[in-house]
Structure 1
Amino acid sequence: MKIVDMRGKLPVHPQKRYQERPLNSIYYIAIHHSLTDNIPGGSDVEAFARYHVETNDWPGIGYHYVIDADGTVYKCNSATTKSYHVGKHNRFSLGVCLVGDFSNYPPTDIQYQATKELIQQLINAYGVTVDNVLGHSEFEGYKWKKCPCINMDKLRRDLT
């Protein structure tokens, strides 16, 4: 799995900054999909950051990690960053976004493999249980949202 560190290289808000949190406050890993087609070469990460800053008026990109269709993992925020990606659960979760619209097609095999590898690393690093690896729509208050449109039960089984 190839990880590219994008921290400090992405667009950020001119005045706003995300709050920090202790590592022992991380209990969940939130899985998202971008609802976009893949733009090769990591351009998605920069586009997401611009959108989050310019349209949403957020301090920076909301995800901690973005996984491209080619399996490249982009680290966008430190784990101590309380970014915006799953509402009132931000304080307790790491956000992982897979590039693609999985209501129309599944993740690529290499993307799915990279997702499993990354999540396993995060589980090991932060003591998150497999049962606390949730799709965006599985969080309280987000049942209406079709995100990430992958079989989360299968993903959790694949992690054990």
Structure 2
Amino acid sequence: MFHIESFGWNDIGYNFLVGGDGDAYEGRGWKKEGAHTLGYNRNSIGVCFIGTFINEPPPANQIAAFHHLMEVGVQNGFLTKDYKVLAAKQLSATLSPGEAFYRVIKTWKHWSPHP
């Protein structure tokens, strides 16, 4: 509702959202440019993890859903097999994804310290 009501958009800015229930939800999808990170929307997929992860990372099923989503993206040609994962805080002045989650993301195979 934030993107639609506050910004007047007709859709959310993220391409996908991943819930604590372990499901991935389609926002703008694979084929439509997102509106999630100014200056980085054109050549990226924005994935929002639903929740606040300052003190605790997301549950394992939520993280697994993200990785499965990325596998689907690679299998269907939407992502290259050497895709990079970056956290929002690496690209803009934000606390997202939360410090506890950021520590986890930095251990992932596809995480990149540089855009």
Bin for the TM-score computed over the shorter chain? 0.7 to 0.9
Identity of aligned residues (%): 26
Find the structure with the greater CA-based Rg: 1
3-state secondary structure, aligned to 1:81: coil
Give the Cα separation in 2 of the matches to 1:157 and 1:127: 11
Comparing both structures, which one devotes a greater share of its residues to helix? 1
Taking the TM superposition and a 5 Å limit, the aligned residue runs for 1:65-144 are 65-124=16-75, 125=77, 126-127=79-80, 129-130=82-83, 132-139=84-91, 142=92, 144=93
Contact 1:66 1:97 in 2 (8 A): yes
Give the Cα separation in 2 of the matches to 1:117 and 1:82: 21
User: Greater shift after overlay, 87-96 or 113-122?
Assistant: 113-122
CA shift digits 1:2-27 (9 cap, x unpaired): xxxxxxxxxxxxxxxxxxxxxxxxxx
Give the Cα separation in 1 of the matches to 2:7 and 2:37: 14
3-state secondary structure, aligned to 2:12: coil
Cα deviation, residue 148, structure 1: 1.2
Relative to structure 1, is the Cα distance of residues 84 and 97 closer, same or farther in structure 2, using a 3 angstrom cutoff? same
RMSD over equivalenced CA pairs, Å: 2.0
Give the Cα separation in 2 of the matches to 1:122 and 1:134: 16
Letter in 1 for 2:58: P
Q: Structure 1: 5+ residue runs without aligned partners? A: 1-49
TM-score in terms of structure 1 length = 0.59
3-state secondary structure, aligned to 2:41: helix
Give the Cα separation in 2 of the matches to 1:111 and 1:60: 23
The residue aligned with 1:36 is: none
Q: How many aligned positions are there?
A: 105
Relative to structure 1, is the Cα distance of residues 123 and 137 closer, same or farther in structure 2, using a 3 angstrom cutoff? farther
Greater relative contact order: 1 or 2 (C-alpha under 8 angstroms, separation 6 or more)? 1
